[in-house]
Amino acid sequence: MSEPFRDPGPSNPDDADWTWVLTRPCPDCGFDAAATDTADVPAILRDAGERYAAALRRDDVRTRPAQGVWSTLEYACHVRDVCDVMTGRLDQVLAGGGEVVRFANWDQDATAQEKQYWRSDPEAIEREVTGAFETAATAYGRPSGAQWEWPALRSNGSPFTARTLALYFVHDIRHHLWDVNA
Ligand SMILES: [Zn+2]
């Protein structure tokens, strides 16, 4: 491990609008929202949590594969925070009782910079990732029936429901498993 505490700089910002993954399969990671049942979401999340935990034990966990591309450690920090944000958003939808709720903007690239993901301790992140996925899996096991269609708006105006939020979330964490070959 060479110079683990040298700031690698920001990653290339992800400005893409990924909502298209709700309507067609992802050519990269293979996720197909149409073929995914919300009842399976908790199990998918727990499986992903285990795979990230295993990836965090790799020797090259801090290595960036290319300039501007997160290391496995940085991706793991990101998905931990994605779990927290998406758990909070689902709680918000359920608390809304079927009224449209509005999600606050979350700037994932600013968060990565502020929290200095690259400096993290892999063992600590493994514990945090495991906890965050377990909490998210429990939360996404909670909605039933019509609650899955309760509405929300993202800060940029994209409409969501609890169901599409779950599918968008699952794609995100599956896509990053593909990013880190886990
Ligand atoms: Zn994908």
Residue 134 CA to ligand 1 center (angstroms) comes to 22
Q: Which residue has the higher pLDDT, 80 or 3?
A: 80
CA nearest to 40, candidates 164, 173, 140: 140
Convert the pLDDT of each residue in 55-88 to its tens digit: 999 999 999 999 999 999 999 999 999 999 999 9
Residue 126 CA to ligand 1 center (angstroms) comes to 23
Residue 142 CA to ligand 1 center (angstroms) comes to 25
CA dist 58 and 10 (Å) reads: 22
Domains with residue ranges and CATH for the chain: 62-179 (1.20.120.450)
Residue 48 CA to ligand 1 center (angstroms) comes to 14
Convert the pLDDT of each residue in 96-155 to its tens digit: 999 999 999 999 999 999 999 999 999 999 999 999 999 999 999 999 999 999 999 999
Look up the pTM and report it: 0.94
> Is the confidence at residue 22, as pLDDT, over 50?
yes
Q: Is-contact 68 92, C-beta < 8 A? A: no
Residue 158 CA to ligand 1 center (angstroms) comes to 19
> Is the confidence at residue 166, as pLDDT, over 90?
yes
Residue 32 CA to ligand 1 center (angstroms) comes to 9
Q: How confident is the model at residue 14 (pLDDT cuts 50, 70, 90)?
A: confident
Residue 31 CA to ligand 1 center (angstroms) comes to 6
CA nearest to 31, candidates 21, 42, 39: 21
Residue 26 CA to ligand 1 center (angstroms) comes to 5
Q: What residues are paired with 160 via a beta bridge?
A: 152
Residue 100 token pair? 């449209």
